[in-house]
Amino acid sequence: MRRKTCLGLLGLLLLLAPTAQAQKLGLGGFLGLNVPVAQDDAGSGTIFGFRGQFQAIPLIRVEPHLSFLKNGDYDAPGIGGPFTLDGGKLTSFGLNGILGAPLGGPGFGVGLVAGIGSYKLQVESYEDDTRVGYSGGLDLSLGLTGAPVKLNGRGELLVIPLEDGGSRKHALLTVGAIYSLGPR
């Protein structure tokens, strides 16, 4: 049910994008560092993915995304001494809203990011688990004069609630670029 809801919302927003402002579309990618927060079953790892953006209204951008997060392995205590276990990986798709600087154009911009997504956790020796997660953070961007590319850095906190009342949390630090399609 959650997956269908997320896919439905994503599809609706993509259908509305051309009517919002078709000339304000962008495509890009990102990569960076993933640091599990308050988790003893995973180490730091990597994240990379792809983003699409469109300018919904002058100060709000909508951003569908697809990301791949890999946790580092961790050492677990054992009777014969510590042993290494797989930290797992997360595959996600979702939707972010960014309040702040416009998609195209030169100059420095700051934006607040809030998002929702479907996260599939895969850990060796466990059954795959798919959950809805939430993220929030800060986006810093730099557009070069006359260039259709905007560079960005982002810091986010990702929270994925679990059934038992706990949650998985990750601090995400990424760098990327968005190529603006259309006028800037």
- Provide the CATH number for the domain around residue 129: 2.40.160.20
Residue-range definition of the domain harbouring residue 122? 2-14+24-74+83-181
What pLDDT is stored for residue 143 in this prediction?
Answer: 86
Whether the Cβ atoms of residue 174 and residue 140 lie closer than 8 Å to each other: no
In the 8-state DSSP scheme, what is residue 22?
Answer: T
Residues of the chain with pLDDT under 70: 1-23, 75-78, 80-83, 104, 182-184
What pLDDT is stored for residue 41 in this prediction?
Answer: 74
Residue 100 lies in a domain: yes
- What digits encode the pLDDT tens for the residues 67-101? 999 987 776 666 766 667 777 888 999 999 999 87
- How far is 91 from 68, CA to CA, in rounded Å? 5
Residue 44 lies in a domain: yes
Helix (H) or strand (E) holding 20: helix 2-21
Residue 47 lies in a domain: yes
Task: Give 130's contacts (C-beta < 8 A, 6+ positions apart).
Answer: 2, 3, 118, 119, 120, 121
Q: Which of 170, 157, 161, 158 is nearest to 131 (CA)?
A: 161
What pLDDT is stored for residue 78 in this prediction?
Answer: 66
What pLDDT is stored for residue 20 in this prediction?
Answer: 42
- What digits encode the pLDDT tens for the residues 124-136? 777 888 899 999 9
> How many domains are there within the chain?
1
Sign for the pseudo-dihedral over CA of 99, 103, 109, 114: positive
- How far is 81 from 122, CA to CA, in rounded Å? 26
Residue 19 lies in a domain: no
What pLDDT is stored for residue 9 in this prediction?
Answer: 54
What pLDDT is stored for residue 19 in this prediction?
Answer: 46
Amino acid identity of 130?
Answer: T
